[in-house]
Amino acid sequence: MPQAALPHIRPCAVPTLLLILLGLGGCVSASNAPPRPASPARLDIPAPTTVGLDPATAQLWATDMAKALQGQSVPATARPATAGAWWLRLQTRQVGGQIIPVYTVMSPANAPRASQEGVGIAQPLWQPASGPVSPAVLSGAAQDAAPRIATLLTGIQAAAMEKDPNSLKHRPARVFFSGVTGAPGKGNDALTTAFRAAFPDSHDILTRHRAQADYILNCTVRVSDAAPDTNGQARQHLDILWTLHDTAGQEAGGITQLHDIHAHALDGDWKETAPDTAREAAAAARQIIDRYSGRTNTPLPPLSQTAPQTHATGAAAPT
């Protein structure tokens, strides 16, 4: 098992889903927040000392790399490797007339875990006859590599989960659902009951014990006046807001169902509206848990079973 928590990656947004409520147009969309970083959960990037760059330029490369990875929602910092942290080793190798950046993810024990090569850079650009390397070259190299390094980190995290028998790769997520508030008519009870029936499956279950939960789900309904329809009939906006938090209180994602309904149409029995709404919300909640937890990510094989991707031919030792 890794000796420290890996930097977490922000998942992709959940696609928008559509549904019809009471014969009128409506939609439900789900969004994701970044996963909660466990402590320590960071990626240090020391300035390289063996790549043929002067110290100031080497530090600039590390800084550009950190900024590019932050753009991928990786908590990266340009600084010397600190105790308990994963870190990124920056190296280069020469192939013919090109300099190939080599990026290696190092564990807190200073053991290489994964390696990725960047696009080759013409040697005169990396080693100009006069003056330092252009900042644009360093920034371009960082921007090129950042998405693939983020993918490596995702795979490493998935491999750690694969080895952990208590991770969500090996058991259902436990969700504490606090119920629904603010709904008109019988909506609070109807939606709560419908969601409890729609949500559980082989990957996710509900628990009535908050202390046992991996996630906490809340739902609030808001009703407001809307413009009359083309026939002059009064309408209302119905906003159904579902929010999923992890046990540390960090938001994992939100689901928003927006609908225009005939005024007071739901002041009594919700009939089929509750099960239809609950099924859509349950599907979106499962997707949020998939992305937030990383349980569906593919584990990265050990370094000995993977080969760094390269964008040039030939071989040479790292410089």
pLDDT exceeds cutoff 60 at 250: yes
Mean pLDDT across the chain = 85
Q: Does 43-164 match 17-36+168-293 at the fold level?
A: no
Which pLDDT value is given to residue 316?
Answer: 36
What are 121-178's pLDDT values in tens digits? 999 999 897 888 999 999 999 999 999 999 999 999 999 999 999 999 999 999 999 9
pLDDT exceeds cutoff 90 at 230: no
**What percent of the chain is modeled with pLDDT above 70?**
82
Domain definitions of the chain by residue range: 17-36+168-293, 43-164
pLDDT exceeds cutoff 50 at 19: no
Cβ atoms 77, 46 nearer than 8 A? no
Q: In what order do the strands lie in the sheet with 17-21?
A: 17-21, 24-32, 251-262, 235-246, 215-226, 173-181, 204-206
Q: Tell whether omega for the bond before 11 is within 30 degrees of 0, i.e. cis.
A: no
Q: Which residue type does 200 have?
A: P
| CATH number, domain 17-36+168-293 | 3.30.160
The predicted model gives 17-41 an average pLDDT of 43
Which pLDDT value is given to residue 8?
Answer: 44
CATH fold, domain 43-164, is Rossmann fold (3.40.50)
Question: 245 or 35, which is more confident?
Answer: 245
What are 59-103's pLDDT values in tens digits? 999 999 999 999 998 999 999 999 989 999 999 999 999 999 999
Question: 150 or 303, which is more confident?
Answer: 150
Reported as type and span, the H/E element at residue 139 is helix 135-163
What are the phi and psi torsion angles at 49 (to 5°)? -120, 0
What are 268-278's pLDDT values in tens digits? 999 899 999 99
